[in-house]
Structure 1
Amino acid sequence: MDDRWTTDRRPTDDRTTTDGRRLRLLRLLLLLLLLLLLLLLILLLLLLLLLLLLLLLLLLLLLRRLLLLLLLKLLLLLPLLLLLLPQLILLILLPLLLLLLLLLLLLLLLLLLLLLLLLLLLLLLLLLLLLLRLLLILLLLLLLLLLLLLLLLLLLLLLLLLLLLLLQ
């Protein structure tokens, strides 16, 4: 009897072949690796958020000290105010502008952190539901890494501004 013409052949299931088992194991390991990477990114974001809150606290302490110093300078220089008005305006406006820029940068950093956390949570949810293919997951991870680099650059700029404010 010729087996080529029989219709009783069943398609091979990937779960029963050795290659199919390896492929399933590889997919499972890749999913576990991606989940571990997401957890590490979330921990890094929480650490950055803590650092940002510490910087904000330092900025508030610095702002209080700076305002007290400015009030003392104004009281001491009140007789010379008319003579030194342009320099005094620069002396007052420049730190305030730096502080305003620093606060805006902090707000931008907080918004970026929130966006990054939302993206991570979305990626984690989609990973858990297995709706994304591997390529889309890798693209989202690359986007998250780019956002993290942008976040680190903003943090460095914030630290530089804070250092500039402290040196003034």
Structure 2
Amino acid sequence: MLLLLLLLLLLLLLLLLLLLLLQLLLLLLLLLLLLLLLLLLLLLLLLLLLLLLLLLLLLLLLLLLLLLLLLLLLLLLLLLLLLLLLLQLLLLLLLLLLLLLLLLLLLLLLLLLLPLLLLRLLLLLRLVLLELLLLLLLLRLLLSNIR
């Protein structure tokens, strides 16, 4: 009977030990699951961070592209302004050339008219001289008639 009791006690002890071992295993499993969960969370966090970095990089790239576009627009405007200035300069040059041509034509006209004017003046002078001569002759005739 005592032997039976001892055996029963031993069996109970063994059962208790088995339960403890099982609890320990469960605890270990729980810890392992917790660790796995933490690792997954960390991985998720890392992924999120990477995504954020990528988003920032994309935003930066977009900003750079916008800046480049603005610079290109500014360059185009400057080129247009330069073209307009060049056009104005060309127009001014053309105007000056036309003015010079007009002056040359005026000078040529003056040169052509000058001999005609001189000829007319000479003719007028000759006429005046002839009249004076005629007057002198008349005066002489008159004087000779008086004598």
Bucket of the pairwise TM-score, normalised by the shorter protein: 0.3 to 0.5
Taking structure 1 as the reference length, the TM-score comes to 0.38
Instruction: With the length of structure 2 as denominator, give the TM-score of the two structures.
Output: 0.43
Q: Which has the higher helix share?
A: 2
- Give 1 or 2 for the bigger CA radius of gyration: 2
Pick 1 or 2: higher relative contact order, CA cutoff 8 A, min separation 6: 1
